[in-house]
Amino acid sequence: MPRSIIAGIGMYVPDNVITNNDLTRHMDTSDEWIQERTGIKERRFAHRTKETTTTMGVEAAKIAIERAGITAQDIDFIVFATLSPDYYFPGCGVLVQRAMQMNEIGALDVRNQCSGFVYALSVADQFIRSGMYKNILVIGSEKHSFGLDLTTRGRNVSVIFGDGAGAVVLQPTEDEGRGILSTHLHSDGSEAEILAMYNPGTHANHWKEGLADFDEAEMANMFMSHQMIDNAQLYPNMDGQAVFKKAVVKFPEVIMEALTKNGYQPADIKVLIPHQANLRIAQFVQQKLKLKDEQVYNNIQKYGNTTAASVPIALCEAWQDGKIQNGDIVCLAAFGSGFTWASALIKW
Ligand code: UT7
């Protein structure tokens, strides 16, 4: 059975840099608070009309495809991970197919938030291993800036997130010594609402918190309403501390699962690319696994948390910086809303 290799990788971030001080113009926060709690110094916000989740994904994809030495017409399947799609439906995959004038290939959207890219990579890996496809484009992209409550009311969520995209092209290899060694996917939906955007949705009041202003009959008929806008119920909700506590357990667990499966130890990792959720989480994971500084790649300081885009952006930068060479063991790991968490172990 062939393995998948990352034949090309690319990233795109908007030019528009938003510093922590910029945010203080809109909300009661400070550079000190944000840096101390998250490590973030700045993030990028997409152009409001010229850039979308899809257009950023396409820019990253163009680079990945060129580096793979193929053309957009050689791509035979698209997997697109995002929580901030251009449309409620259809997904961004078909918009990439259109924008890049690809053949009438399959296009799949993955909705697994922070672990979306690792899930998407795993899906693509199975298609390569089974022999079904030969050139799969996997994209993670987010335009968070459009959907954040950039007032003091939403500061616990909105200071964290940034926009950007990353993409890879997966191809099969018969080289036994290389490729994606294994992927590991998990979920626990028992606390799904802890990090969630409830509206617009079809939940019809199954989840009541934050909807207290409505009686059940009224709510059951509502997909979107003026009241939802007035009460800020069209923004993401997050219990940050609860997410943090779970993340610092599940990250090391799923990394160890990948290492153990392949007979490796933490010391064998050349570079760990953790989802860039919060620098403090990454530092906690590093400490727990006794990894050296040079074994963990973080760039949240520059881009904030770009959710499904954070792993491919960090992977791309680490590779561009020469931190990843052929034969190196690279571990990707992510945790987030759902909860879902995942890892992938790659021999580059
Ligand atoms: O990738 C998606 C997954 N998400 C995550 O991984 C997030 C994980 N959690 C976190 O990163 C952290 O919980 C946060 C960075 C979100 C928050 O840090 P925290 O240390 O857990 O702060 P907190 O929510 O407990 O809030 C502490 C205080 C509160 O004030 P009081 O009640 O102590 O007076 C908040 O109101 O900080 C206040 N606060 C802020 N102050 C200034 C919350 N947000 C802000 C802000 N600026 N942006």
DSSP string for residues in 43-110: EE---TTT--HHHHHHHHHHHHHHHTT--GGG--EEEEE-SS-SSSSS-HHHHHHHHTT--S-EEEEE
Q: What is the mean pLDDT of residues 306-322?
A: 98
Looking from the CA of residue 278, the nearest atom of ligand 1 is: 11
pLDDT category at 210 given cuts 50, 70, 90 is: low
Nearest to 250 by CA among 83, 79, 111, 114: 114
**What is the best residue among 33, 144, 152, 156 to mutate for testing ligand 1's pocket, by most ligand atoms within 8 Å of CB?**
156
Instruction: Tell me: pLDDT of 311 over 70.
Output: yes
Domain 179-191+238-347 superfamily per CATH: Thiolase/Chalcone synthase (3.40.47.10)
Instruction: Check residues 344 and 208 and name the one with the higher pLDDT.
Output: 344
pLDDT category at 298 given cuts 50, 70, 90 is: very high
Which residue reads 């799969």 in tokens?
136
Query: If you average pLDDT over each of 194-203, 224-233, 261-270, which comes out highest?
Result: 261-270
- Model confidence over 85-109: pLDDT tens digits? 999 999 999 999 999 999 999 999 9
* Residue identifier of the C-alpha nearest atom 39 of ligand 1: 156
pLDDT category at 338 given cuts 50, 70, 90 is: very high
- Model confidence over 211-245: pLDDT tens digits? 555 555 555 557 778 878 888 889 999 999 999 99
- pLDDT at res. 77: 98
CATH of domain 3-173: 3.40.47.10
Whether 278 lines ligand 1, by a CB cut-off of 6 Å, is: yes
Q: Which residues are catalytic?
A: 114, 275, 305
Looking from the CA of residue 243, the nearest atom of ligand 1 is: 8
What is the distance in A from the centroid of ligand 1 to the CA of 249? Answer: 19
- pLDDT at res. 224: 79
What is the distance in A from the centroid of ligand 1 to the CA of 240? Answer: 6
- pLDDT at res. 163: 98
Domain residue extents for the chain: 3-173, 179-191+238-347
- pLDDT at res. 173: 95
CA atoms within 13 A on the CB side of 12: 25
- CA 248-252-255 angle, to 5 degrees, is 140
Cα-to-chain-centroid distance, residue 136: 18
Task: Tell me how far apart the alpha carbons of residues 2 and 131 are, in angstroms, rounded to a whole number.
Answer: 8
Whether 207 lines ligand 1, by a CB cut-off of 6 Å, is: no
Q: Do domains 3-173 and 179-191+238-347 have the same CATH topology?
A: yes
% of the chain with per-residue pLDDT over 70: 95
Q: Is 267 helix (H, G, I), strand (E, B) or coil?
A: helix
